[in-house]
Chain A
Amino acid sequence: MLQLTNIHKTFNQGTINEKKALDGVNLDLKDGDFATIVGSNGAGKSTLFNAIAGGFYVEKGSILLDGEDITYRRDHQRARAIGYLFQDPMKGTAPNMTIEENLAIAYLRASTGNKNYFSRISRKDKEMFRERLALLDMDLENRMKNPVGLLSGGQRQALTLLMATIVTPKLLLLDEHTAALDPATAEKVIKLTKDIIEERNITCLMITHNMHQALELGNRTLMMDSGRIVFDVSGQERENMTVDDLLVKFKQGAGEDLDNDRILLSM
């Protein structure tokens, strides 16, 4: 589904702050793969997502999504096929617009084929939105006329998840999307994520700092360091892997400077 071939990105090229954020990343993600990504801060995880979503163009290499070369496709064009959730729940929704209107914007992706700019939200759309909202089990289906700004962070993130998947994306990118939520809410959003991905067989990449999650969720685990994928495990080998094994790998990958509190704490 997603093929990254030798992609490179350097920030501040030619200056003293030059940093190779992506240093020849290769990745072949099969249809329906759900891979978790771990790695210390600055390893290039978010940069990788940004490269895939089109936040910038890579300097070298190619990006293929479902066989289509999207290396030089613009971000809003890629967004038709790629759902993207950020850590910050505020980033994914428009606060002064209602829940219904936010969903309608997300649903626009479905109707880009026929350019019906002037169509309005139909009753059928609303009914569908209501059904989908009910699945979140947060009583949002009865608050469809409320501005999203009134919702809690967890509710907003759940809504963002719904928006990213309301038209089944070819690829879903989750960038620590539960890191800003309290543990109970985070668990709920993770469960929702799991259900939606499994139910609709969505190909997904998920960044996490939680080692348990990294092994529990999905069918593949990647580890990044210094702009490269240094470890890639799936199948039986992954089944047998413990959090401790992963941490050992992590220490090897990250060298001596394992100074990320969050990783140590999540042991």
Chain B
Amino acid sequence: MFITTTIVQTALEVGLIYSLVTLSLYLSFTILNVCDLSTDGCYTLGCAVAAMITIAGHPILALLAAMAAGIASGFLTAFLQTRLGIESILAGIIVNTGLYTINLVVMGLSSNVSIFGVDTVFTLWKGISSNPVWESWSKLILLAIIVAIACLAMYFFLNTKLGLSIRATGDNPAMVKSSSINTAFTITVGLCAANACTGLAGGLIAQYNKTCDINLGTGMVTIALASLVIGESIMGRKGSIIKGIIGVLVGALLYRFIVAIALRLNVPTEFFKLVSAVIVAVAIAAPRLKEYAKLKQAMRGED
């Protein structure tokens, strides 16, 4: 069979983990209109922190610590940007570069760490029942629950008064200034929340793969952006929050399915970075390309 249950299952599982990174970029890139390029490093940071704490025997604490590490990283990016006046893209790149060293230090100056012989949240969860169906699907169920909680929390958060202020900050900075909203504060909260998701995703992937590699996060921001634009092109850009979050899930899962199918066709994994890059470039350029096409048409019509 071309597509087996295992392939679908793995694609769903990894897709769900990636959807947390996509959710993070949804908040920073779509909602807050900030291009946060620290995602790569932050994802690895979450992974490294969670791996070390899992090895020490605290799998649940490991995920919380991964989120906390993400929040710290997001805070730093926001601090550089809002308090020290560093351009947002540059702030992300600076933090990303610095995180490489931090991640190495977290991993005990080794570029690769393996988790074995200790419990992860997945093994703990799996241990609830010894039913074989449960055993094969437990991972997916756990990830679905975690992602569902994250999405609901995001939805709820974006409709609180603080969430509304964050949305307005990204939507119309001119208006926000005259509405008693402190943009330094809203950007900081937004980036902290976004990077908490990225950190959590890193933590989950550590326990899912039972390994952490220093180069794990490379290109993650492009992959997440690709997922985001795939979701947006299906659900519509700048729609309601509900649509946006559904788009995040659809985009991330669809992306993983595309990858899974390509892997079945023996496309080397190294090619995916290029594919993601092309998807992002084309999708973000699409409105402009359409404009050009229209203009061309109009010009021809004039003749």
Q: Which residues of A contact B (CB under 8 A)?
A: 53, 55, 74-77, 79-80, 82-84, 86, 90-97, 101-102, 104-106, 108-109, 111-112, 116-121, 163-164
Among B69-77, B169-177, B215-223, which stretch is in contact with chain A?
Answer: B169-177
What's the tally of chain B residues with a CB closer than 8 Å to chain A?
22
A76 B167 Cβ-Cβ under 8 A? no
Q: Which of B161, B168, B174 contacts A119 (CB 8 A)?
A: B161
Tell me which residues across on chain B come within 8 A of A75, comparing CB atoms: 177-178
Secondary structure dominating the interface of B: helix
In this assembly, does B112 line the interface, its C-beta being within 8 Å of a C-beta of chain A? no
Among B118-126, B180-188, B266-274, B293-301, which stretch is in contact with chain A?
Answer: B180-188
B179 A120 Cβ-Cβ under 8 A? no
Tell me which residues across on chain A come within 8 A of B171, comparing CB atoms: 94-97
A118 B160 Cβ-Cβ under 8 A? yes
A76 B161 Cβ-Cβ under 8 A? no
A104 B164 Cβ-Cβ under 8 A? yes
CB distance from B172 to the nearest CB of A (A): 4
Q: Which of B157, B167, B175 has the most CB of A within 10 A?
A: B175
In this assembly, does B290 line the interface, its C-beta being within 8 Å of a C-beta of chain A? no
Q: Which of A74, A82, A116, A117 has the most CB of B within 10 A?
A: A117
Tell me which residues across on chain B come within 8 A of A92, comparing CB atoms: 174-175, 178
Tell me which residues across on chain A come within 8 A of B160, comparing CB atoms: 117-120
Tell me which residues across on chain A come within 8 A of B157, comparing CB atoms: 118
Q: Which of B157, B164, B176, B181 has the most CB of A within 10 A?
A: B164
Given contacts A94-B171, A96-B171, A96-B238, contact A79 B179 (CB under 8 A): yes
Q: Which of A84, A117, A119 contacts B178 (CB 8 A)?
A: A84
CB distance from B180 to the nearest CB of A (A): 4
In this assembly, does B159 line the interface, its C-beta being within 8 Å of a C-beta of chain A? yes
CB distance from A110 to the nearest CB of B (A): 10
B258-291 residues with Cβ-Cβ distance < 8 A to A are none
B179 A106 Cβ-Cβ under 8 A? yes
Given contacts A91-B172, A120-B159, contact A97 B164 (CB under 8 A): yes
Q: Which of A74, A80, A93 contacts B175 (CB 8 A)?
A: A93
Given contacts A91-B172, A95-B172, contact A105 B181 (CB under 8 A): yes
